[in-house]
Structure 1
Amino acid sequence: MRYHTHVVTSLAIGAGIASQTSLSFTISYAAGIIIGSLLPDIDEPNSYVGRRSLGMSNKVKQAFGHRGMTHSLIIWAIMAAVLLSESHSLFSFGFIIGYLLHIIEDFFSVQGIPLFWPFQTKRYKFFITYRTAGFLEMVIFYLSFALFIYIGVNHHLFSELFQSLITFLRRLL
């Protein structure tokens, strides 16, 4: 899945989660989702995040391969536990949600992912799959975008998002 589809799909689902829980859809929460939805691809030097990693992406890919360690539920659970032991911020919750959604989204790809790395290197995938940059991914992107707008408008999440952005900017000034 390309980076923009990961971001939009994760934001749509993250907005749905915020609309049904006590999590606020703030700029911090949305930033956490966006960064979390991109970070698993640090293992691919040609990915959006890989091209901006100052060479770290090459090292991660050399050590673990693409869709290796960074796409594991085991690693996600460890990372989530460490983050939550240190912080219960909206950014942390967003990051944990975004990272998990990236893994789930790639579970539907033709390539699959090693869900239980390091205990198993077998790649798992759902029986219905999409190809990266294919027609089905484009459909997923546009449906996710429409869902994001729908949830944001119907649950007044955008006003919450913009209010948190204004608060953030006032603190900077």
Structure 2
Amino acid sequence: MRYHTHVVTSLCIGAAIASQTSLPFTISYTAGIIAGSLLPDIDEPKSYVGRRSLGAAQKVKQAFGHRGMTHSLFVWAVLALIIMLESPSVFASGLVLGYLLHILEDFLSVQGVPLFWPLQDKRYKIPLYRTGSRLETVLFYGSFSLLIYIASQYQLFHEWLRSLRSFFQQIW
């Protein structure tokens, strides 16, 4: 899945979760989801995050390959535990959620993901789309439309704008 599709589909699901839970749809939450939805691809130097990693992506890819360790539920759980214990915040919640959603989105690709690495190298998948395919384009626009609908229906944009206003008031 391309980076922009990861971001939009993760924001769509994150908005749906925020609309049904006490998680606030704020700047911090959405920034966390965006960062988390990109982070697993630190194992690919040509990815959006990999090109900005100052060489770290090349090292990770050499050690574990693309869609290796960074796409494991085991590794996600360990990272989630550390992040939530060290800095429990709305941003951290979004980061952990975005990371998990990235793994689940790639699980739906024809390449699959090693969900149980390091216990197992097998790639699991429900092959619905191929990266860059027309179906991925449909997923992008469908998720974008659904994000707008959910955010409008549950007035999440108001909450987001309030948090943006509060952010700028704090820095000025």
- What range is the shorter-chain TM-score in? over 0.9
Write the distance in 2 (CA, Å) between the matches of 1:120 and 1:90: 32
Q: Which residue of 2 aligns with 1:147?
A: 146
C-alpha displacement at 1:9, in angstroms? 0.1
Give the match's secondary structure for 2:129: coil
C-alpha displacement at 1:129, in angstroms? 1.8
Write the distance in 1 (CA, Å) between the matches of 2:121 and 2:167: 43
Q: Any residues of structure 2 matched to 1:128-143 within 5 Å, and which?
A: 128-143=127-142
Q: Which residue of 2 aligns with 1:4?
A: 4
Q: Which amino acid aligns with 1:165?
A: L
Structure 1 residue runs without a partner (length 5+)? none
Write the distance in 2 (CA, Å) between the matches of 1:119 and 1:103: 17
TM-score with structure 2 setting the length:
0.99
The 4+ residue runs of structure 1 with deviation greater than 6 A are none
Write the distance in 1 (CA, Å) between the matches of 2:74 and 2:130: 25
Write the distance in 1 (CA, Å) between the matches of 2:27 and 2:115: 30
Q: Any residues of structure 2 matched to 1:50-65 within 5 Å, and which?
A: 50-65=50-65
C-alpha displacement at 1:47, in angstroms? 0.3
CA RMSD of aligned residues (A): 0.6
Q: Which residue of 2 aligns with 1:70?
A: 70
Aligned length: 172
Give the match's secondary structure for 1:82: helix
Write the distance in 2 (CA, Å) between the matches of 1:18 and 1:48: 26
Give the match's secondary structure for 1:25: coil
Question: Is 1:162 matched with 2:156?
Answer: no
Q: Percent identity?
A: 67
Q: Which residue of 2 aligns with 1:31?
A: 31
